[in-house]
Amino acid sequence: MTTQPRVNELWKYIGENQVNGRLVDDLTDFKTSQVNYRLTSFDVQTNGVRYLKTLIYNLASQLSPENWDRLRRIENREVGNPFSVTYDGEMVCLDYLRAVLDLEFIEKNVDLAGADVLEIGAGYGRTCHSFLSNHKISSYTIIDLETTMEVSQRYLRTVLDDAEFAKITFIPVGEIEGALGDATFDLAINIDSLAEMDVDTVRYYLGLIDRHCRNFYVNNPVGKYMDKSLDGHARGEQAIARAMSPGLLTDVIDVNDNRAVAAKAPEFTAAYRPHDGWTCAADTWAVPYTWYWQALFQKQEPKH
pLDDT in tens, 93-116: 999 999 999 999 999 999 999 999
Domain ranges of the chain: 98-299
At residue 1 the predicted structure's pLDDT band, cuts being 50, 70 and 90, is low
What CATH number does domain 98-299 carry, 3.40.140.10, 3.40.50.150, 3.90.1150.10, 1.20.1530.20?
3.40.50.150
Calpha distance 279→266 (Å, rounded): 13
pTM tops 0.85: yes
Residues of the chain above pLDDT 90, percent: 74
Per-residue model confidence (pLDDT) at position 238: 72
Number of other CB atoms surrounding residue 175 within 10 Å: 12
Helix or strand (DSSP H, E) at 168: strand 168-172
Helices and strands (H and E) in the chain: how many: 13, 9
Q: Which of 252, 266, 267, 261 is nearest to 285 (CA)?
A: 261
| Mean confidence (pLDDT) of the chain | 91
pLDDT in tens, 120-151: 999 999 999 999 999 999 999 999 999 999 99
CA distances from 290 to 104, 153, 268, 294 (A): 19, 30, 14, 12
Per-residue model confidence (pLDDT) at position 6: 78
Q: Please, what's the b/e burial string for 84-117 (b: 16 or more CB within 10 A of its CB; e: otherwise)?
A: bbebeeeebbbbbbbbbbbbebbeeebebeebbb
Per-residue model confidence (pLDDT) at position 25: 76
Per-residue model confidence (pLDDT) at position 246: 86
Calpha distance 190→69 (Å, rounded): 24
Q: Which of 54, 108, 111 is nearest to 84 (CA)?
A: 54
End-to-end CA separation in angstroms for the chain: 96
Q: Which of 16, 14, 21, 18 is nearest to 34 (CA)?
A: 18
